[in-house]
Every structure is written in structure tokens, then in C-alpha cells.
């Protein structure tokens, strides 16, 4: 069972961790929790992969909280950055992951939660104990930084 | 701001394709160790929760109080339960202080059967429970003496108190005689000493 779920689970953990060792820590804790609470899984509420993904993300959030500070920041006006999609398409997946990992930890977490895993700002605010405005600020900050780095790749 | 941009969707797709490192065995070893620890040591549940603690404390206090009361009661009853020294029968045998009993006679404490005076019932070797009569006689007080006289006289402030209060008798199993029948009359005067004689009738006039 572990072998079958390893690739799926490790891919999720890799997005949130700063490196492979961090991902291994998240994955190990998540699987321990999964095996301990596997009797609580209800197939009627969703598929097993979705249930495991939630466990991994929760564990990743705890991991990030232990290692980063979330200062309260409010965002009033939002300026959408322009990013050339063709550059991303041509870029290697590992290189993209490195770009995301270079974001500040809190900004990194908010970006992955929002842009990759589909959380709303309200959900992110609740999970990270921050305000929705702070979540929006981190997302905006992430987009700005990524735009600069992707342009840098192009040049 | 509330919608993902196209490049973010591209990034998400790219991240799903990221090759995962081959750390499955290493991570599994850690997982297995943690699971073994969890199953090996059952989680300690608190013995008492909420009201249980108060109930436990109350029961403990009640039990402690009962133990203290029992101990005090036991202590106060303890002297009553102590057996009377069994030397008394030996003293009873000495009580008459008859001349016919010769010194050196051994009296068994439970030998109650009457025997002819001067007959030695037991061999001269004294047993554990035996009492040598000569020792007892030496310790015996005179028949008329009061053993309590060995106590210092009690000084009282008023005659009322003097008449009411008596010194508490001290029980000495060796020298205290059991209460027997007191001899009537005055000592040294027997019925032979009394004379009944006829006197003049005092009721007659003219005397």
C-alpha cells in the first residue's frame, strides 16, 4: 500500500518542503498519521487519494508553521503580473520547483496552497492562522517574485 | 486575485511531473519505527478525569478518617483486652497461709484438688508455671496488714475531700490477696469472752 502511494504522496510533499529531506519528514509523519487513523476513513466522503492528500497537506502546513513566521500584512490594491506562459512550458519541472522553493516560506506555502492545490484565501487563512488579506498579500508577492525569476530564465 | 492565472495552471501541471526521489525505503524505516513504538507502548490514559478525581479524593479522605477512628477505638480497647496475669492462681494457693504447709512445697497453679495437709504432690523440681511457696510466703504480707499502706499518704485540703476520695488501689498480683470473707468481731475476742447475766429490771418502780 505504501509503495503504491509513495509517488503520489511524495509529489505533494515535495511542493511544500524546501528540500528532499523536508519532504521525507512530511511524508513520514503523514503516513504514520494515515496508518493510525485509517479506520476513520469513510469512502462515502471521498476517494482514498483525496483523503491522503489532505493528511499530507495538513502535515506540510504544520511543518511550515514550525519553520516560518507569518507576519500580518494587508493587501489593498492588486496588480496582476504578466508572465509569458511559453517560458514556463519550455522550462523543466525540476527547475520550476526550484523557483517555487526559492520563495519565502510563508509566501511559498500560500502560493502552493492557492495556485497548485486549489485552496481559497479563506481556507488558507484558517489553516495558517492569518487573515485573508495576509494570504492575498503572500499570493501577490509570490506572483511578483516568480515573474521576475521566469523573466530571468528567459534572459 | 481570486482566480488562478494560466501560468499558475502550467506551474501546477509541471509540479505534478516532478520526479520523486527514491527514498521510499528510508522513509518506510522511519514510519515502521514510529508505528512499532506506538503499538509497543500503549498510550497512557489519565487515571482520573474531571469528577473522577474529586470522587477519588473524597473516598480517600473517608477511608483515612475511618482508619484513624478504628485505630483510636482499637487503642482505647486494647487494655481491656489484655489477659489477666495467670499468676493469680498461684497466689490463691498461698492464701490460707496455714502452718501445715511446709516451705519448699510446690503448688501447681491449677491444682485445685484438696489433699491431705503436708502431702507433697509434685516432685521438688519446679516446672515453668510452678511457684515456690517459700518465695511466695516471703513476699506475703501479714494477714492484717494492708498492702496499700506502702503508698504515701494522700494529703487532702478539706475533710470533705478526705472522706470521699480514696487512693486508687494498686494491684500487685504477687502480694495482693484476693478478697475473702472478713473475720467478724474484734480480733482476739471470741464468743467465749461474752457473758450473759441477769440484771435488775429497770422498769419496776421503786428501784
pTM for this predicted structure? 0.49
The contacts of residue A142 (CB under 8 Å, 6+ apart) are A103, A107, A108, A110, A111, A115
Out of B19, B24, B38, closest to residue A3 by CB: B24
Distance from CA of B55 to the nearest CA of A (A): 34
φ, ψ of residue B16 to 5 degrees: the values are -65, -25
The pLDDT tens digits of the residues spanning B37-65 come to 766 555 555 566 667 788 888 999 999 99
What residues in A contact B8, CB-CB < 8 Å?
Answer: 115-116
Query: What mean pLDDT value characterizes chain B?
Result: 65
Out of A14, A96, A140, closest to residue B14 by CB: A96
Q: How far apart are CA B61 and CA B54, in angstroms?
A: 11
pLDDT of residue A102: 87
Distance from CA of A9 to the nearest CA of B (A): 9
Q: How far apart are CA B31 and CA A35, in angstroms?
A: 9
Question: Is the pLDDT score of B72 beyond 70?
Answer: yes
Q: How far is CA A123 from CA A46, A65, A107, A113, A119, in A?
A: 19, 15, 15, 9, 6
The contacts of residue B124 (CB under 8 Å, 6+ apart) are B104, B106
C-alpha grid cell, residue B157: 485540703
The pLDDT tens digits of the residues spanning B89-121 come to 544 544 554 455 555 555 555 544 455 555 455
| Residue of B6, B7, B29 to mutate, testing the A interface (most A Cβ within 10 Å of its Cβ) | B7
The pLDDT tens digits of the residues spanning A43-100 come to 888 888 888 889 999 988 888 888 776 665 565 555 565 666 666 677 778 888 888 8
State the ipTM, two decimals. 0.72
As a whole number, mean pLDDT of residues A128-140 equals: 87
- Burial letters for B154-186: b for 16+ Cβ neighbours within 10 Å, e otherwise? eeeeeeeeeeeeeeeeeeeebeebeeeeeeeee
Please judge whether A115 and B17 are an interchain contact, meaning their C-beta atoms are less than 8 angstroms apart: no
What interhelical angle do A20-36 and B24-40 show, nearest 10? 40
Please judge whether A94 and B18 are an interchain contact, meaning their C-beta atoms are less than 8 angstroms apart: yes
Distance from CA of A88 to the nearest CA of B (A): 7
Q: Say if B119 is an interface residue toward chain A (CB within 8 Å).
A: no
Q: Would you place residue A150 in the very low, low, confident or very high pLDDT band (cuts 50, 70, 90)? A: confident
Distance from CA of A28 to the nearest CA of B (A): 6
What residues in A contact B35, CB-CB < 8 Å?
Answer: 32, 35-36
Please judge whether B15 and A94 are an interchain contact, meaning their C-beta atoms are less than 8 angstroms apart: no
Amino acid at each position: 500500500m505504501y509503495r503504491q502511494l509513495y509517488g503520489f504522496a511524495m509529489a505533494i510533499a515535495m511542493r511544500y518542503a524546501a528540500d528532499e529531506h523536508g519532504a521525507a519528514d512530511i511524508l513520514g509523519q503523514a503516513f504514520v498519521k494515515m496508518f493510525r487513523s485509517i479506520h476513520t476513513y469513510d469512502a462515502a466522503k471521498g476517494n482514498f487519494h483525496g483523503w491522503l492528500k489532505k493528511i499530507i497537506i495538513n502535515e506540510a502546513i504544520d511543518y511550515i508553521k514550525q519553520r516560518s513566521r507569518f507576519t500580518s500584512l494587508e493587501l489593498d490594491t492588486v496588480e496582476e503580473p504578466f508572465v509569458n506562459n511559453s517560458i514556463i512550458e519550455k522550462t523543466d519541472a525540476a527547475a520550476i520547483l526550484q523557483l517555487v522553493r526559492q520563495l519565502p516560506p510563508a509566501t511559498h506555502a500560500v502560493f502552493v496552497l492557492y495556485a497548485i492545490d486549489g485552496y481559497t484565501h479563506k481556507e488558507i487563512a484558517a489553516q495558517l492562522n492569518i487573515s485573508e488579506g495576509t494570504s492575498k498579500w503572500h499570493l501577490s508577492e509570490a506572483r511578483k517574485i516568480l515573474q521576475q525569476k521566469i523573466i530571468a530564465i528567459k534572459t | 486575485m481570486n482566480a488562478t492565472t494560466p501560468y499558475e495552471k502550467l506551474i501546477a501541471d509541471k509540479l505534478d511531473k516532478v520526479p520523486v526521489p527514491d527514498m521510499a525505503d528510508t522513509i518506510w524505516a522511519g514510519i515502521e519505527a514510529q508505528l512499532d513504538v506506538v503499538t509497543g507502548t500503549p498510550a497512557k490514559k489519565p487515571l482520573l478525569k474531571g469528577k473522577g478525581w474529586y470522587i477519588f479524593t473524597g473516598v480517600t479522605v473517608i477511608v483515612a478518617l475511618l482508619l484513624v477512628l478504628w485505630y483510636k477505638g482499637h487503642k482505647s480497647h486494647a487494655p481491656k483486652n489484655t489477659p489477666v496475669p495467670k499468676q493469680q492462681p498461684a497466689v490463691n494457693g498461698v492464701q490460707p497461709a496455714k502452718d501445715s504447709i511446709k516451705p519448699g512445697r510446690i503448688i501447681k497453679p491449677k491444682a485445685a484438688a484438696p489433699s491431705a495437709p503436708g502431702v507433697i504432690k509434685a516432685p521438688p523440681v519446679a516446672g515453668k508455671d510452678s511457684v515456690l511457696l517459700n518465695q511466695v510466703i516471703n513476699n506475703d504480707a501479714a494477714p492484717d496488714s494492708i498492702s496499700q499502706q506502702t503508698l504515701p499518704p494522700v494529703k487532702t485540703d478539706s475533710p470533705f475531700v478526705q472522706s470521699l476520695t480514696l487512693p486508687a488501689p494498686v494491684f500487685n498480683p504477687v502480694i495482693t490477696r484476693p478478697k475473702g470473707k472478713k473475720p467478724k468481731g474484734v480480733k482476739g475476742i471470741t464468743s467465749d469472752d461474752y457473758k450473759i447475766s441477769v440484771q435488775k429490771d429497770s422498769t419496776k418502780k421503786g428501784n
